[in-house]
Amino acid sequence: MPPVAKAKKTKGAKKAPAKKATPPKETSPIVAAARNWFFRPTPLIITAFLISVVVLVPYLPHLLPDLAGLEEYQFEMEQIEVNEPHGWVPTHLVDDILIQSDLPQQVSLLQPGLCRDVAVVFSKNPWVRSVQSVRLTQKPAVRAHLEYRQPVALVETSEGMLPVDIEGVLLPASDFTVDDIDRLPHITNVPSAPEGSVGQPWGGILVASGAKIAAALTPQHNMKKYWNRFELTSVVVPTVSDGVVTADELTFELATSGGSRVVWGKPPGADDLEPTVEQKIGRMEQYLTRYGKFDEPDGPYRIDIRLFDAISLIPLGRTIH
């Protein structure tokens, strides 16, 4: 066997240093604790459940039964409930609204957007000023809370008497009878026909301003309190020239049954330089206390109640400056 040759040591060669082992990185105590907590049965079960919910949610409507079709959730729209209206609102209001609407006769109380659809339909009726709320009750049923319009005057036109509310919104004339003509104040000398249809404002400032005066003299809790006591017949709209006018430029008068005219002035809220509504009514009360009627003692008169220090009394046929 040949001898094994020994490697010769190279003069000056250095021995390579041995590599040191890299110590393992230390894990943060927080990370370690979270990892130990997560990889326990309860957290893993919860995580699996949440993932399942996220995956299955889009398919749930197809998996659940259709409750909207069940008989106990069906509702006849004619049974809808509304808060009690005042005496001017026709008793067939709900029937009229449903007939004129595109709502089906029977709906499911689980129908999406049902309350919204009912609110939209009811808000279109001229007797409804606003829909306060529509909700499902425990009966089950649908109940709507409405704010109703209140007629305050009849506007005399060539086509007959047209009812309006305090905002000058036109109400359905077909819902009023001949007997109602004497139950409401009249607004006269209106130069134009209504610009809008029923349920819309008359248009312009004259009728709306006259309606505010009529409402001030017929408070809702006692509509004839002042109107009858003062023996008034109408709110007379001032004659205005062509062009845009403001409430501050208008001077209304009140016609009395005796032929006198009470100069009321501007509509409520138009000018704080005139006496308030309460002060004007007080002036009229003062006159009646003294003379008994507005055409006494030697009337008829044009009676100006706008002055703060006195009541101006001028026989009709003369003008006020």
160 and 304 in a single domain? The answer is yes
Report the relative pairing of strands 261-265 and 252-256 from DSSP bridges.
Answer: antiparallel
- The parent domain of residue 193 ranges over 151-315
47 neighbors 39 (Cβ within 8 angstroms):
no
**Cβ–Cβ under 8 Å, residues 161 and 151:** no
Residues 79 and 188 in one domain: no
Query: How far is the C-alpha of 306 from the C-alpha of 267, rounded, in Å?
Result: 12
Rounded Cα–Cα distance for residues 71 and 140 (Å):
12
Residue 261 host element (H or E)? strand 261-265
pLDDT for the residue numbered 156: 96
pLDDT at 119: 95
138 and 272 fall within a common domain: no
Q: Which CATH number belongs to the domain containing residue 207 in this structure?
A: 3.40.50
Together in a domain, 135 and 163 = no
**141 and 191 in one domain?**
no
pLDDT for the residue 1: 45
Q: Does 285 map to a domain?
A: yes
The CA distance from 164 to 257, in Å, is 22
User: Is residue 14 in a domain?
Assistant: no
Separation of alpha carbons 318 and 301, rounded Å = 9
Q: What's the CATH code of the domain at 77?
A: 3.10.20
pLDDT, position 21: 54
Instruction: Answer for the pair 265, 274: CB distance below 8 angstroms, yes or no.
Output: yes
> Residue 50: its pLDDT value, please?
73
pLDDT at residue 36 in the model: 64
- Identify whether 26 is part of a domain: no
Q: Is 0.85 surpassed by the pTM of this model?
A: no
3-state helix/strand/coil string of 268-310: CCCCCCCCCHHHHHHHHHHHHHHHCCCCCCCCCEEEECCCCCC
Is 281 part of any domain?
Answer: yes
Residue 155 burial by CB count (10 A; 0-12/13-18/19+): exposed, middle or buried? Answer: buried
Give pLDDT, residue 8. 47
Question: Does residue 85 belong to any structural domain of this protein?
Answer: yes
For residue 22, being part of any structural domain is answered with no
- 139 and 170 in a single domain? The answer is no
pLDDT tens readout for residues 176-209: 999 889 889 999 999 989 998 999 999 989 999 9
Q: Please state, in angstroms and as integers, the Cα–Cα distance from residue 25 to each residue in 22, 28, 36, 217, following that order.
A: 9, 9, 18, 91
Q: Look at residues 112, 133, 148 and tell me which one is the last residue of a structural domain.
A: 148
- Provide the domain count of the chain: 2
Return per-residue pLDDT of the chain as tens, 321 residues.
455 444 444 455 455 555 555 555 555 666 666 666 556 667 666 776 677 666 656 655 554 444 445 555 677 888 899 999 999 999 999 999 999 988 888 888 778 888 899 999 999 999 999 999 999 887 778 899 999 999 999 999 988 999 999 999 999 999 999 988 988 999 999 998 999 899 999 998 999 999 999 999 987 655 567 898 999 999 999 998 766 678 888 999 999 999 999 999 999 988 778 899 999 999 999 999 999 999 998 889 999 999 888 888 899 865 544
**The last residue of a domain, from among 148, 181, 208:** 148
Has residue 34 been placed in a domain?
A: no
pLDDT at residue 5, as a whole number: 46
Of the residues 148, 167, 202, which one is the last residue of a structural domain? 148
Same domain, 277 and 138: no
112 with 231, same domain?
no
β-sheet with 128-137: strand ranges across: 81-82, 141-148, 128-137
Q: How far apart are CA 242 and CA 238, in angstroms?
A: 13
Same domain as 298, residue 176 = yes
Are residue 174 and residue 294 in the same domain, yes or no? yes
Name residue 134's beta-bridge partners. 144
Mark whether 240 and 102 lie in a shared domain.
no
75 with 132, same domain?
yes
